[in-house]
Amino acid sequence: MRKGIAISASGAAALAVLATAFPAVAASAPRPVPGPGGVTIEIANMSGSGCRPGTAEAVLSADRETFTIAYSGFTARVGGASAPTDARKVCQISLKVNVPPRFTYAISEVQYRLGADLQPGAKAAQRSGHHLQGGPPATITTVNLAGPQNDDFQVVVRTPVERLVWKPCDLERDLGVNTELRADLGTSDPSKVSSISMNADGGNRTRYHFAWKQCA
């Protein structure tokens, strides 16, 4: 069963889930509109121990209202035969979101899905955020989990309308997505494996929701 955790990107929430927001970039009073035709998205670059080339893909929804990122091989683990470098995995992805002229977008909501299999005494964490190239620093969300745990989780981060960060109209700006997974033995039995994962083969995809506006 997948457990849900809903939080706002403007503050902190319970269940050891924290969010920190940064000031939004002002837009020139465009009006909200549905996702326009002609939108495309592609991964321009990705790097990090959690996403070797070819182990992540971005897929745009048919209505242009959302896109998902699916990872493979993105797992942090400790215990058993795990190597020390397995305890922390990171992934940085740069996305090109191509939009028609006179339109702009912001990310209004993100749904993170992850799985955790933690022994008693073990701990794990996920840190994630996104930002527009040349804009404010990334909004960071941290999810802390403690064992025993063997479940899937969905973390929903919603940004209030007044804090949305809009891509500047008629300027090209890549969208950066940064994710980190950590596993910690804590007081658990070191002979037993504990892990945290965002792999798509477990049904875990990260979904980003667009807010669209028409430029003046």
Q: Break the chain into its structural domains and give their ranges.
A: 2-24+38-214
d(CA 38, CA 139): 28
| pLDDT (0 to 100) of residue 22 | 26
With beta carbons less than 8 A apart as the criterion, state whether 197 and 74 touch.
yes
CATH 2.60.40, domain 2-24+38-214, yes or no? no
| pLDDT (0 to 100) of residue 37 | 86
| pLDDT (0 to 100) of residue 4 | 54
CA 31 to centroid of chain Cα atoms:
26
Instruction: Find, among 138, 177, 167, 179, the residue nearest to 39 by Cα.
Output: 167
Task: Please return the burial class of 124, using the count of CB atoms within 10 Å of its CB with bins 0-12, 13-18 and 19+.
Answer: buried
| pLDDT (0 to 100) of residue 33 | 67
The pTM score is 0.84
Q: Could you tell me the mean pLDDT of each successive run of 10 residues in the chain, 216 residues long?
A: 46 32 32 77 95 92 94 96 97 95 92 95 96 87 94 91 90 94 98 95 88 88
- pLDDT tens-digit map of 191-204: 999 999 999 887 78
With beta carbons less than 8 A apart as the criterion, state whether 112 and 125 touch.
no
